[in-house]
Structure 1
Amino acid sequence: MSMFSIFNPLLKGSNNFKARFHGFLFNNVSTVTIRTLMKTHKGTAKRWRRTGNTFKRGIAGRKHGNIGWSHRSLKALTGRKTANSAYLKHLKRLLPYH
């Protein structure tokens, strides 16, 4: 038995404790709910941008190691790509506030 459970009736699980939150009286402590916020995945936030109802990203393969590549193949790697429709559910979960 920990030291905190002796002094805190919330941790002991007793139902006779009446909690007060902003003037409201709750007879049962389990009725108080806490809303947790979702976290933004920072690696995804650096790579994807929101556009209307989808996302866009840069095309990989243009940063370094391109000596000897033809201009035609490098030009194909420029620009932006939109997200695949099958991946949108994952992106919305990783970027909840974008």
Structure 2
Amino acid sequence: MSRFNEEITKQDKITNENVKKAMLISMKRVGKPVFSAATILSASFAAMMLSGILSLLQIGAWIIIGLTLYTIILLPVFIPAVATLLGENNWWPFNLISKK
């Protein structure tokens, strides 16, 4: 969201089209590092699952499932959709963007 905030403040006027454009640019820049970090973290927990201890198997499996859902559904679909729908009200309690 901070990358999105940087991109939206570069726009002259906050319109629905500018919000979509800023969200697309910010998702392109943030997607690769987040996907890489999730892959590395999943591999670490998958290695922990090899121990054969039931609690470690369960913890590793749930963390891998959670990271997969985060990187496939939540980050690329849900967060941009909500931010686009909310538009300028996305930062409601704090108004982090400057009104132009």
TM-score relative to the length of structure 1: 0.29
In terms of fraction of residues, the more strand-rich structure is 1
> Which structure has more RCO (C-alpha within 8 Å, separation ≥ 6)?
2
Bigger Cα Rg: 1
In terms of fraction of residues, the more helix-rich structure is 2
TM-score relative to the length of structure 2: 0.28
